[in-house]
Chain A
Amino acid sequence: MKIATTKSLSPFYSRILNLIGILAVYFILLIFFITTVVPFLTIAVAGFKTSIELVQGAFTLPKLWLFENYINAWQQAHFNWYFRNSVIVAVPVVVISMILSIMSGYAFALMKFNLNKLLFGIFLLGIMVPQEAYIIPLYYLLVDLGLNDTYFAMILPQIAMSVCFGTFWMRGFFAAMPRDLIDASRVDGCNVWQVLWKVLVPNAWVAISTMCVLFFIWTWNDFMIALVNTSSDTLRTLPLGLAFFQGRHTANVPFISAGATIVALPTIIVYLLFQRQFTRGVTSGTLHGQ
């Protein structure tokens, strides 16, 4: 059966078409590359400019590369504290949510029990409800528990939110995995717990890394929870610090740009570090080629 193919053309034409094809591929990739990288670079560069220079030209380079803004953001604006706080909040959230999501995703995907659909549906509720909806009762709950204005006030709710998506995500991934692996291991006498950690997880590392990166980004960039549940400067996280540069009437854009770059860099670094996991060879399924 012949499907659409280029084999029937002469070698010369087919090579030209190939070339055009390759160029088209790179062209498309480049366009999207530019649309994301250029704005980001511009912001990073804007952090070195003065306010006036910003309005003078879209793509001009600053006359003086003012590291001032970056240094000021780090020290004067306490970005070093906020950075530390963001890490203290993000790391436990990612680690704990990862473990819990793997466990519950596994149960929903591969175990049969009466309340499967119902409970899963309830978990999904967690993704659907907007934060603004429950933030005020959450605040009062934390006050009642005596936890508000502590790191827990930011960590615990974030775990709750992450776990909803994580369950949804891992369930989907586990459900789509080839059954022979699982069956083989059951034959070998693995119990339910071992099947998960010794067989499924090593093969799901790509999905798990993806999930962890997302958890990290969402927690790192969270604004609302940190804003409402804490008030001390010593607990503040980076996004709150950024919002500071937007005063009552004006915003100090170069300062914001410098701060924004500091805030965005760790997520990029985390992504870079984790994405090596994405491309590691996995037992089933590798990149396909031409």
Chain B
Amino acid sequence: MNPDARQDFALAFLSILFEGAPFILLGTLISGFIDIYLPAGAMDRFLPKNKTFAVLTAGLLGAVFPVCECAVVPVIRRLVGKGLPMSCALTYMLAAPIVNPITALSTWKAFQGQAPWMMTGGRMLLGYLVAVGVGLIVARLPLRMVLRKNLVNSLEKNKSPESHTAHDTHTCCGHDHDHDHDHDHDHDHDNHHPHEKENRLVAAMRSAQKDFVDVGVYFTIGVAITALFNTGIAPGAEWLDSLAGNPVAAPAALMALAFILSLCSTSDAFIAATLAKFTWGAKLAFLVLGPMLDVKLIFLYQTVLTRKFILALSVSIFLVIWIVAIAWESWIGKVVMP
């Protein structure tokens, strides 16, 4: 890089980083505390018994339990293991990084002066609808088609009557459960463990820091690539610019970029807002696809889902969001901003 390019890269890089870092911190603090303090069974209580209503509700659970896409996969893995229906788990996994107050706030802030309500509302709505659509389809599929074999086996094992012990409903007493004991639960946890609160605060802060570093690494890479494109240093920046105004090609191009950048949903809006030349539909596609599908998520999904299902899910999500983004752009062009 020549000195001018370095100067440009540094300016763009730092500005996006300063803008997004506080929102990543907020998201990871919340996910860290959820990770430690939220019992695994807590989410089940929010879901109706009817399958369809349960999926529809699962799509909104991110509003109560906000987690970004990096944090949601391990959470889902554990919740599925605890018996949360796969259709609800998958709906929550896809929707929670988008349909949550932190993402809504960061999207609204990032798009100030650029139709913030339209972008935030469009993102929440499309994210919810795509996630619910996937959940409703998955509810009709056999578990083995969706879940990894070891998880299915573990679920089936847990369902057998002899595997039920008091531990299935007891996840937060703070004991070391590596040994095989059983409890009478009529004791007071706070008195039983005087240092638990303090220790769990430390554990929550550690979990938050771990999440921050995990997300921060991908965010740094994403911001660096964005800064290179933003300042025209990256090869292909001109080509990408040439697609910016094309209502059909632009959403596909930005979805590909979202896939590669692997940004966190709490901060990706700050990147999208800098892509001034791109159509509204393309920015929406970037904001909806990114939290559902990217390079790092493909790896994370493999800890829960079968490869065939991941492939089918990826292609379907890409196509649905692409078509909706094109239609949305056309609607905006005719109705909202003619």
Q: Do A and B bind each other?
A: no
Q: Which residues of B contact A (CB under 8 A)?
A: none
Q: Which residues of A contact B (CB under 8 A)?
A: none
